[in-house]
Amino acid sequence: MELKITCIPGDGIGPEIVREARKVLDSVAKSYGHRIQYTDILMGGASIDVHGIPLTEEAVETAKAADAVLMGSIGGDTTTSPWYKLPPNLRPEAGLLAIRKALNLFANLRPAILYEELAKACPLREEISAQGFDMLIMRELTGGLYFGDRKTIEENGIRKATDTLVYDENEIRRIAIKGFDIAKKRSKKVTSVDKANVLDSSRLWRSVVEEVAKNYPDVTLEHMLVDNCAMQLVKDPAQFDVILTENMFGDILSDEASMVTGSIGMLASASLNDTKFGLYEPSHGSAPDIAGKDIANPIATVLSAAMMLRFTFDLDKEADAVEAAVKHVLKEGYRTADIMSEGCKKVSCTQMGNLLVERIG
Ligand SMILES: NC(=O)C1=CN([C@@H]2O[C@H](COP(=O)(O)OP(=O)(O)OC[C@H]3O[C@@H](n4cnc5c(N)ncnc54)[C@H](O)[C@@H]3O)[C@@H](O)[C@H]2O)C=CC1
Ligand SMILES: CC(C)CC(=O)C(=O)O
Ligand SMILES: [Mg+2]
C-alpha cells in the first residue's frame, strides 16, 4: 500500500520526536511491504522564521493533499521567545488552531492508558496504580473558548480583556455522536464533563448530549462537573471509559490524565473530521526546556503514528506491531528520563526510537 503522509516537525522537541516516529513507521512499512511518501511542511515558530506567519495556505493545501498528517509540536517558551512579541494572530499557536479549523478536525481523541510496566512511574497511591486504567478523552477541538471572539481594550484607564465561549448545537452533536459511537465499541460508558451549574454553553452541551444518548440505549451516560472530574482523575481514574468534553476542559483534563499514566510523553492523540483523514500528534507541547537535548520521550508520537495506521489506513496488524513494540521495550526496562524509575535503563530519545525499530524489525 502507498501511504501519503505530510509531516509537521514543528518547534522545540517536535523535530526530534517526529524523526523517531518516522523511523518506526519506516520500519513497519518495510516489514509489511508498504511504501511511504512523506512531504514536510512548516508550522508554528518554524514557519514564522521562514515566512513571517505561523501557517501558509500552501502548507494547508499540502496537508489536505495527503492521506494523513503526522505532527510533532509547535511553540516556544512563552515568556522568553521572540515569537511571543508578535501580535497573537501571528504567534505559533495561531498556526495550530488554524490548521485544526481548516481541516475541520473537530474530534480530538486522547487515549490515556496506564501500562502495567509504568505503574511505578504513576504518582498515584499503589492500590490505585495497581488497578491500571484505560480511558479515552474525546475533546471537541474546533469550537469553544479557543475559537470565540477575543479582545483587549482600555476603558477609563483600566485594561480589560474578553474571551468568548460559544458552541452551537451542531458542534456539540457531532462530537457527542463520535463519542457514543466509540463508547459502543468499548466498555459502553460516557462521562460527559461540563460546568452546567454555571455556564449556559455547558447547559446546552448537557442537553444535546442527552438527546444524542437516546440513540444509544446500551451506552451508559453520566454527567460530571469539570472541577469534580479533575479530582476524580487522580482519586479513581479506573472509573472512566470515554470522557466527552469541550475544547478547553479537554485540553486541561488530558494533561492531567497524562500524568497519571506516568508522563505526558506517553499520551498520543488523533484529531479527526468525518472522513478517514486525520492529524496525529502527541498531546504535549514543544517542551522548550528539554529541546535539542535528545532526552524527550518519543512514545506519544510513536503511538500517535500507530493511531494513524489503525484509523486512516485500516492497517490494524501494523498498528498492533507498533503498540506491541512499545510494550516490549517498556517490559525490558528501557525508559526515557520522564518515565525513569529505579532499576530501569535510561535511554535517549534516539535510543528509544532505535529500540522500537529493532523490536518491530
Ligand atoms: N500541540 C502542540 O503543539 C502544543 C503546543 N504547546 C506549546 O508548547 C510550548 C511549551 O508549553 P508547555 O506549557 O511547557 O507544555 P509542554 O507540554 O511542552 O511541556 C510541559 C512539561 O512536560 C515536559 N514534556 C513535554 N513533552 C515531553 C516529552 N515528550 N518527553 C518528556 N517530557 C516532556 C516538558 O519538558 C515540560 O516540563 C508552548 O509554546 C505551548 O503553547 C503546548 C501544548 C500543545
Ligand atoms: C494551542 C493549544 C490549544 C495547544 C494545546 O494545548 C493542545 O492542543 O493540547
Ligand atoms: Mg494542551
Ligand 2 and 93: CB distance under 6 A: yes
- In ligand 1, which atom is closest to the CA atom of 289? 35
Q: What is the mean pLDDT of residues 267-283?
A: 98
User: Among 69, 98, 83, 71, which Cα is nearest to 10's?
Assistant: 71
At 359, give phi and psi (nearest 5°). -70, -35
Classify residue 275 by burial, with Cβ atoms within 10 Å: 0-12, 13-18, 19+: exposed
Q: Residue 348: is it exposed, middle or buried by C-beta count within 10 angstroms (0-12/13-18/19+)?
A: middle
Query: Is any ligand 1 atom within 6 A of the Cβ of residue 93?
Result: yes
Bind-site residues? 100, 110, 139, 227, 251, 255, 285-297
In angstroms, the Cα distances linking 228 to 36, 176, 224, 231, 339 are: 44, 21, 7, 5, 27
Question: What is the DSSP code (8-state) at residue 236?
Answer: -
| Cβ atoms of 10 and 288 closer than 8 Å | no
Average pLDDT over residues 219-248: 97
Q: Averaged over 202-224, what is the pLDDT?
A: 98
Cα(42)–Cα(37) distance, rounded to whole angstroms? 17
Whole-model pTM over 0.90? yes
Give percent of the chain with pLDDT exceeding 70: 100
255 counts as catalytic: yes
pLDDT at 361: 82
- Distance between CA atoms of residues 350 and 218, nearest Å: 45
Q: Nearest CA to 299 among 285, 282, 287, 315?
A: 282
Ligand 2 pocket: which of 251, 272, 284 to mutate (most atoms within 8 A of CB): 251
What pLDDT shows up at residue 92?
A: 98
Give the pLDDT of residue 297: 98
- Quick: pLDDT tens for 280-332: 999 999 999 999 999 999 999 999 999 999 999 999 999 999 999 999 999 99
Residue 217 alpha carbon to ligand 1 centre in Å: 39
Q: Rounded distance, CA 165 to CA 163, Å?
A: 7
**Neighbouring-strand partners of residue 324:** none
| Residue 284: how many other CB atoms lie within 10 Å | 25
The predicted structure's pLDDT at residue 128: 87
> Does the annotation count 251 as an active-site position?
yes
Whose alpha carbon is nearest atom 5 of ligand 2?
251
The cell numbers describing 107, all together, are 474530534
Catalytic one of 11, 23, 115, 146? 146
**ipTM of this model?**
0.99
User: Which phi-psi region, left, alpha or beta, contains residue 24 (left: φ > 0; alpha: ψ -120 to 50)?
Assistant: alpha
pLDDT tens track for 11-23: 999 999 999 999 9
Active site annotation includes 146: yes
Nearest CA to ligand 1 atom 11: 285
| DSSP classification of residue 146 | G
pLDDT of the residue at 196: 98
pLDDT at 131 over 90: no
Angle at 122 between CA 121 and CA 128, to 5 degrees: 140
